[in-house]
Amino acid sequence: MPGVTGLFISIVIGSLVQAPFLWLAGKWIVGKEKALFREAIWIGILGAVINIVISSVAGGPIGGIAQLIAYLYLIKEYFDTGWGNAIIISIIATIIMWVVVVILGIIGLGFAFF
């Protein structure tokens, strides 16, 4: 049972860490009416669960591509946008996250935060 509890905690914490970056990128691309913070949290939670399911069924490049498509689909649906904007939102969210990680590293908090 500790494995399931640890997995659940990991999904929740990972989603809460990821959500602000996804939300900021979504607000910038599709606007604040479509990109709500709670939607970003749901994308993170469902994305993590779907990734676990896909990786247990299909590994390697096929599994990775399926996970990427599923994640982009969640962004597309929850932020009510197209595939192109979903790709742009995920790229911008990743860039924002790395900028924050670098800044935290510079001020001494480092990668341990993430």
Cα 110 to chain centroid distance, Å, stands at 20
Q: What percent of the chain has pLDDT over 70?
A: 93
pLDDT of residue 111 exceeding 60: no
Question: What 8-state DSSP symbol labels residue 59?
Answer: -
Q: Where do we find the tokens 């990786």?
A: 55
Q: Where do we find the tokens 């779907």?
A: 50
User: Is there a contact between 14 and 48 (Cβ–Cβ < 8 Å)?
Assistant: yes
pLDDT of residue 62 exceeding 80: yes
Distance between CA atoms of residues 40 and 33, nearest Å: 13
Which SS3 state, helix, strand or coil, does residue 58 take? coil
pLDDT digits 0-9 by tens, 16-46: 888 999 999 999 999 989 999 999 999 999 9
| pLDDT at residue 2 in the model | 61
| pLDDT at residue 110 in the model | 58
